[in-house]
Amino acid sequence: MANVKIDGINKIYPNGFHAVKEVNLEIADKEFMIFVGPSGCGKTTTLRMIAGLEDISSGEMYIGDQKVNDVSPKDRNIAMVFQNYALYPHMSVYDNMAFGLKLSKTPKAEINERIERAAKILDIDGLLKRKPKQLSGGQRQRVALGRAIVRKPEVFLMDEPLSNLDAKLRVQMRAELIKLHKELETTFIYVTHDQTEAMTMGTRICVMNGGEVQQVADPRTIYNAPANMFVAGFIGAPQMNFFDGLVTDNKNLKVGDQVFLLTDELAKSVEAKKMNNKPLVMGIRPEDIRSGQSNEGVEAIVEMTELLGSDLNVYFKIGEKQYIMKAEASSALKMGDVMYAVFDPNKLHLFDPESGSSLR
Ligand code: ATP
């Protein structure tokens, strides 16, 4: 069993910086867990503590049933793939892949067999004699993965492994990693700052900010029911719009001159959280706003449009604040137009402005 349990983990660096704060997380056996968050949020530090490359300041870390706080990286049955691949330049692909196995005195025939199998899975069987510098970035990345696979780890740890690849190759490798995860039936823990990677690959996503876990859930839940304004703003591109609002009678949401009837679910949350007649923040995603008739929506001025092929990002201003919606590519909206922004009342999110927490 290769579940990973992170129990009240903190990391305080020797200079006193508190990089990871009270993280509690259980990663199930065979799960594909993604740590995502902005630069400096503590995701790499957390991964390195799982790997044993960084001391844990307090809390307990388990891999399977074993507490690993004091277990050295090589005895943790994990393999880590880094952003820069860290291949030995003077060794062939075969020797790079064999290196760890030779160290652990694996019999030659078995080394051969494991490398052959990994090379086949990764489609690098034709490259085994080459040196890293004779490979493309994508091929090097496969070799780095191959070197991890042959060790048959119980847990794969990956730190931004695709960030050095060009956009097209990254998309391709994303699909391959998903396939690899299925084939190997092993626990994957993957760090990225790229929300698309997180949303497309993870069975679950752990969103971090400022050393703290913000939300842990499957991609759909993270997108549709963000736990707070940070997650709502971080996941989704272009990002969610936020408006100041006020709820009256526990069901009418006022935003500027507009009044929306809340869904039963939101109305109940407002009542339960005692947010009636208190300022709150309404969030709405760009795809949940449309341009309508003057009697339907809020008057706005189009500031700029951005054609993305399949659709059009429309930046508009209401008063002094800028917002964004997604329109059809065929939309005639252009800079300077007056439009009426209509919000889908079923797609509203409400947040407590003080804590940032969702009212759901
Ligand atoms: P990135 O995507 O930029 O790598 P990250 O979320 O992985 O960011 P970490 O590398 O985990 O972030 O770093 C978390 C915080 O800890 C950062 O503010 C970083 O500056 C700080 N930090 C990292 N290593 C050290 C160290 N050795 N000493 C002091 N502070 C450190």
pLDDT in tens, 206-248: 999 999 999 999 999 999 999 999 999 999 999 999 999 999 9
Q: Is the pLDDT of residue 156 over 80?
A: yes
**Residue from 45, 56, 159, 197 whose mutation best tests the ligand 1 pocket (most atoms within 8 A of CB):** 45
pLDDT at 220: 97
pLDDT top residue among 23 and 73? 23
ipTM summary value: 0.96
Cα–ligand 1 centroid distance for 42 (angstroms): 6
Q: Is the pLDDT of residue 83 over 80?
A: no
When pLDDT is cut at 50, 70 and 90, the band that residue 1 belongs to is low
Q: DSSP states of 192-249 as a string?
A: ES-HHHHHHH-SEEEEEETTEEEEEE-HHHHHHS-SBHHHHHHSSSSPPEEEEEEEET
Q: Which residues line ligand 1 (CB under 6 A)?
A: 13, 15, 17, 19, 37, 39-45, 193
Cα–ligand 1 centroid distance for 177 (angstroms): 26
pLDDT digits (tens, 9 = 90+) for 29-59: 999 999 999 999 999 999 999 999 999 999 9
pLDDT at 271: 94
pLDDT digits (tens, 9 = 90+) for 105-146: 999 999 999 999 889 888 889 999 999 999 988 888 889 988
Overall CATH class of domain 238-351: mainly beta
Residue minimizing CA distance to atom 9 of ligand 1: 42
pLDDT at 165: 78
Q: Is the pLDDT of residue 356 over 90?
A: yes
pLDDT digits (tens, 9 = 90+) for 191-208: 999 999 999 999 999 999
244: which 2 tokens?
Answer: 């100041």
pLDDT at 272: 94
Cα–ligand 1 centroid distance for 78 (angstroms): 22
% of residues, the chain, pLDDT over 90 = 75
Q: How many CB atoms lie within 10 A of CB 175?
A: 11
208: which 2 tokens?
Answer: 């971090």
The predicted model gives 10-39 an average pLDDT of 97
**Residue from 10, 43, 56, 159 whose mutation best tests the ligand 1 pocket (most atoms within 8 A of CB):** 43
Residue minimizing CA distance to atom 20 of ligand 1: 40
Q: Read off the amino acid at residue 299.
A: E
pLDDT at 332: 93
When pLDDT is cut at 50, 70 and 90, the band that residue 335 belongs to is very high
Residue 238: half-sphere exposure toward Cβ, Cα within 13 Å: 23
Residue minimizing CA distance to atom 10 of ligand 1: 44
Q: 153, 79 in Cβ contact below 8 A?
A: yes
The predicted model gives 275-280 an average pLDDT of 93
Q: CA-CA distance, 234 to 240, in Å (whole number)?
A: 8
Q: Which residues lie closer than 8 Å to 255 by C-beta, 6 or more apart?
A: 243, 244, 245, 282, 298, 343
Q: Is the pLDDT of residue 84 over 80?
A: no
The predicted model gives 246-260 an average pLDDT of 89
Q: CA-CA distance, 207 to 198, in Å (whole number)?
A: 9
Q: CA-CA distance, 306 to 140, in Å (whole number)?
A: 36
In 101-186, at which residue ranges do the beta strands (DSSP E only) sit? 155-159
Dihedral (CA of 125, 160, 152, 31) sign: negative
Closest to 157 in 3D by CA, of 312, 350, 27, 324: 27
pLDDT at 331: 94
**Residue in the structure block whose two tokens are 């949350």:** 269
**Residue from 13, 191, 213 whose mutation best tests the ligand 1 pocket (most atoms within 8 A of CB):** 13
Cα–ligand 1 centroid distance for 21 (angstroms): 13
Cα–ligand 1 centroid distance for 240 (angstroms): 27
Most distant CA pair in the chain: distance in Å?
Answer: 77
The predicted model gives 326-335 an average pLDDT of 94
234: which 2 tokens?
Answer: 């971080």
pLDDT at 121: 82
Which residues face 78 on adjacent strands?
Answer: 155
Q: Which residues lie closer than 8 Å to 280 by C-beta, 6 or more apart?
A: 244, 245, 246, 247, 270, 350, 351, 352, 353, 359
Q: Is the pLDDT of residue 350 over 90?
A: yes
Cis ω before 238 (30° cut-off from 0): yes
Domain ranges within the chain, ordered by starting residue: 4-233, 238-351
Atom of ligand 1 nearest to the CA of 208: 6
Atom of ligand 1 nearest to the CA of 46: 11
Asked whether this chain's domains 4-233 and 238-351 adopt the same fold, the reply is no
Q: Is the pLDDT of residue 346 over 80?
A: yes
Cα–ligand 1 centroid distance for 53 (angstroms): 14
Answer CATH for 4-233 from 3.40.309.10, 3.40.50.11690, 3.40.50.300, 3.40.250.10: 3.40.50.300
pLDDT at 42: 97
Q: How many CB atoms lie within 10 A of CB 318?
A: 18
